[in-house]
Amino acid sequence: MTRWLLCAVGIALLACAAHAEPRLITIPGGTYRAVAPQDWDGKHALPAVLYLHGYQEDSAMVTGDAALVAAVTSLGALMLVPDGINKGWSHRGAPRHARDDIAFLHAVVADAEQRWPVDRARVFAAGFSIGGSMVWDLACHGAEGFAAFLPFSGDFWTPYPTRCESGAFDLRHTHALNDHTFPMTGRALFDGRFRQGDLDKGFAILEAADGCAAAPDRKTKDGDLDCESWTRCTSGKRLELCLHHADHQIAPDWLHRSIAWALRRTAAKG
């Protein structure tokens, strides 16, 4: 998958931000890498960002991207990067189901909480491409313990869920208007046996889960992102959709801004 790497305009400071060396950890069912902010004092509770890699990526590739890691650690957060089986994820509708990934992702967070003083009120899940689809799956079917969900360039695959048993949740999704790998309207794969979902249909499911109107009530500009927000949901949760004109990729600055959005949401609740 394509990724913007180092020192793009506006994120030069992020690329140079200090963070600790990645730590590889093995738990039952798989592995993950963790990176803490280098200036962490070893005592104060840390927000945690669970970052799910794209297809054919792994935790070593992600934590080897200095700018992407700094997008997380520069905000004082612990970065947790699990490894998908065969570099993919087993969300609903996926071509492979090698592991109960919702259970595994919860196990990663639980293990990290035994090793670092994780602030349980500020645990967020982010992901790119098929990792983004896994974030949608986690939000809809296993949101407990996560304060917000931050997917990029990937949403539900078909068949769509009829409901989200997790209940309401905060979610900010970022996507390319002209994404050719995961179009906003979805696309068929493997001779039509599997299909990426339509983003509008996915958001209709989220609107129902959060008690939101069918249309956003607020439009804003966030740098190079055009964002629409659902701020009057009966659940008190918020949905946000941010669009850009690049293709299938994630910029570290977009990840940084999404995490900052999640931190503001948790601060507002506190």
Residues 156-190 pLDDT 10s: 999 999 999 999 999 999 999 999 999 999 999 99
Q: Percent of the chain scored above 90 by pLDDT?
A: 90
Collect contacts of 242-246 with beta carbons under 8 A, ≥24 apart: 242/172, 242/173, 242/174, 242/175, 243/174, 243/175, 243/176, 243/177, 244/174, 244/175, 244/176, 244/177, 245/176, 245/177, 245/178, 246/176
Is pLDDT of 248 > 70? yes
Q: Which residue has the tokens 């979610």?
A: 171
pLDDT of residue 95: 93
Into how many domains does the chain fold? 1
Band of pLDDT at residue 134, cut at 50, 70 and 90? very high
Is pLDDT of 15 > 60? no
Per-chain mean pLDDT for the chain: 93
To the nearest 10°, the Cα dihedral for 45, 51, 167, 104?
-90
Residues 41-69 pLDDT 10s: 999 999 999 999 999 999 999 999 999 99
Is pLDDT of 244 > 60? yes
CB 91 within 8 A of CB 157: yes
- CATH number of the domain that residue 163 is part of: 3.40.50.1820
Q: Which structural domain, as residue segments, surrounds residue 100?
A: 2-269
Tokens of 114: 């035994």
Band of pLDDT at residue 20, cut at 50, 70 and 90? confident
pTM here?
0.93
How many residues does the structure list for the chain?
270
